[in-house]
Structure 1
Amino acid sequence: MDSALATVALPAALGIIMFGLGLDLTLDDFRRVGRHPKAVAVALGCQLVLLPVVCFGLVLLFDLPPLLAIGMLLLAASPGGTSANLFSHLFRGDVALNVTLTAINSVIAIVTLPLVTNLAIAYFDQGGEVDLQFRKVVEVFAIVLVPVGIGMLVKARRPGFSAAMDRPVRIASAVILAVLVLAILLAERDNVTDYVARVGLVAGLFCAISLAVGYVVPKAAGVTEGQAIASSMEIGVHNATLAIYVAVEVLDVTEISIPAAVYSLFMFVFAAIWGKVLTRGRPRQPAAH
């Protein structure tokens, strides 16, 4: 994946999107999340424990080559991406829960991402260590929280403006996301066929399972529909850019980044289809505030 696209264009575009999400949030959203900690605990349990176990089973079942297997587990250990907030926003999930989960998991990932990845490296006998730099976590916080905070401030100061911008922002968010997906495909056009042939089936299955688990497990635990949708998107839409960064810049093995690059092609399409399935027949109204 083109480094400029991954490190500059994507974060900048998502920053704009996050501002739009902030226009739909109030402090009451976060207070409500605090009053319902079960949704946070269940989602984090799925993301931190269940997903790496499922991913490990898949790489063994399909007998992936060691470096690709490590790449899959690196992806599984990565926190939810900021795009998860966008999909939750588009499909009427609890965006406040997404923002909270992204923030919390980005901090926890300082420990869990190197732990899972190093265990994978040891299991597949590849040698080497990974150390997630603190500045990357700061960047995630900046991309997620700062634009959202500005959007929330605008909503508090100009509620009429934020209400009028709701539909245009949702449309613009979808357009921006489509442009980003197209840019990724164009940047990877010389390698897409080879990448998909090598790891596509495992990446696609893992994406579908992640989205389904993220919805079914929280629903079984008794959380609300909006929280279950938010959890599904948070768990299914990983921070593939972070996984690629760790593979290329920290581990210095480009092949380990292949699963994250391929997964990113699946997750946008699968998340959109899944969101349509979950919201089919539901009233067009915002998530409960």
Structure 2
Amino acid sequence: MMTEQKKTVFISCGQSAESEKALGRKTAQLVTGLTPFEGYFAENQTDLKGVTESILNRLYDSVGFIAIMHHRGTVTGNDRTITRASVWIEQEIAIAAFMGQVLKRPLRTASYYQEGIQLEGVRQFILLNPKPFKTSEDVLVDLEAVLPGWTAPLYESLTPHQREAIRRKLAIVRIDAWHPRLTIWVTNRAEFRVSVKSVSLWHGHNGQNQKRLSRGVPSEGRKSVEVGPNTGNTGIAFATDEDPMLKLQSLGVVDRHLPDYSSSDDVDIEVRIEFEALGVEDEFREAVRVRVRGSGHIESL
């Protein structure tokens, strides 16, 4: 059974002063309290792993984006002086714009800039109706009026027919399991990229009385693995919670004591893959014939 996690709204806010951090935290609390989503404010991410996991992955998984730009000094050139904003926040704004315009994952957005900041270059075009503010209270008051309207993601527009079409264009090429490692090769013939979040192996008789053998999540702490559109034979490594061969033995499907290390039984199992496409979580199922060896190795035929 799929368990859908609460989707997030990414808050991009200054962190140079405690007042800026407090504004980021209060904004996250407002999002959580006034919308069906969870506010996410990443504080003090400086190492590469933190940037990847807490910023890039979170941005990609978000349904909304709130940018709050504070003064970051002045720059003089060409006979004029301008007040600039955080380069870090500008980069996050650019990523959010890329998601909407290129990846077709439009976000709900709200953007604010401290009075005096000049909006130049790409900021003029990718910030949607940016609002000036003098104090943190200005931002919070406006968000209290805006956020109740954020009732659903903008990109959840797939019809049941479209969801079924995506499922039909996914296929399992082969599987290879040796607990706690499970590798599945997937082909995606759809026009959309899919994010694979988990996999589970099941067994039943003629599709009835299904019993779960094991469940796996992407290895190395990854939340999901991308499979691009029209992409074939993508290998995805998972870490599993249970040994599927031991479960098959306990169910009496394979011999509890295969004669020797090289002996095997052939079994039909069902592979279920939980994935996300265009912000919509779904599940794909396919029956696979596998060979279960006495060594514990399971591979598709």
TM-score when scaled to structure 2?
0.29
Radius of gyration: which is bigger? 2
More RCO (CA 8 Å, sep 6+): 1
TM-score when scaled to structure 1?
0.29
Looking at secondary structure, tell me which structure has more helix per residue: 1
